[in-house]
Amino acid sequence: MTLQEKAQLAQAVAREAGEMIRTHRQFQVHKKAEHDFVTEMDVKSEQLIRRRLLEACPEDEFYGEEGGGATSAAGRWIVDPIDGTGNYVKDIPLYTVSIAYELHGRLEIGCVYAPALDEMYLAVRGGGAFCNGKPIHASIVSDPDDAIYAMSFAARLPEEHDHMLRVLNRVMGSCNDLRRMGSAAFDLCCAACGRTEGFFELGLHIYDIAAGVVILEEAGGKVSGWQEGEDPLKTGNICATNGLTHAFLLSRIRD
């Protein structure tokens, strides 16, 4: 199966899972860590996605937020069955299904579906980025005074709270405004389609950002860690922008 065929498969599976979670509003919620929740729909969504992908691509491995899986493989699907579970629980429409495909250690496909908004983001390396089939591009804003950034308060990392507040203070005083969406995958897609100029957060997991990273980079944006040489896919510390304001944002988030 070609990468384009796998991308179309990811899109179909994301839509199927997204429609399932959107239309099933009766579910149990469990606390799995401080400020971190899981619903039975997270689990059912991941099971559906895993089954569909591996039935179609038995040669591949799978790694999901809820069930784990292969940490490396020649071909690997990396999945967050509901990114933004807190939003989903409260019926806030900013939640997504996030599916990425990695081939020989390189992310090649990103697919993010926001079912409550019916927005399907898709990108294959070298082929550009799309929302509902139409090309999307990062914004052309270069002046930080005009920039809006999405962010998080690092609520699940109490040891980083003071650090994050210092960072927020530096960024907030130097840009137009900040937004807190509640889904890293959606944040990256907002930067990819020019709604925001970027996104920064600490301590994420690869399944939170893998698909969105491909989409933003294919839309002309830039992604890095917070520190020089840091790989955000490994550390979870991500600075993602339209590219034009990247140096500015890094200068504000670095201590």
The residue extents of the domains of the chain are: 3-136, 144-253
Longest dimension (CA), the chain: 51
The whole-angstrom separation of Cα 82 and Cα 92 is 13
Q: How confident is the model at residue 171 (pLDDT cuts 50, 70, 90)?
A: very high
φ, ψ (nearest 5 deg) of residue 17 = -65, -40
The residues near 184 (Cβ < 8 Å, ≥ 6 apart) are 83, 152, 199, 201, 204, 208, 209, 212, 238
On the CB side of 180, CA atoms within 13 Å amount to 8
- Residue corresponding to tokens 């994050």: 164
Q: Kindly tell me if the per-residue pLDDT of 75 is higher than 80.
A: yes
Pairing of strands 148-151, 198-201: parallel
| pLDDT for the residue numbered 208 | 97
Sheet holding 198-201, edge to edge: 177-179, 148-151, 198-201, 238-241, 222-224
pTM of the model: 0.94
- Average pLDDT estimate for 1-10: 97
The predicted-structure confidence for 128-138, as pLDDT tens digits, reads as follows 999 999 999 99
The CATH number given to 3-136 is 3.30.540.10
The CATH number given to 144-253 is 3.40.190.80
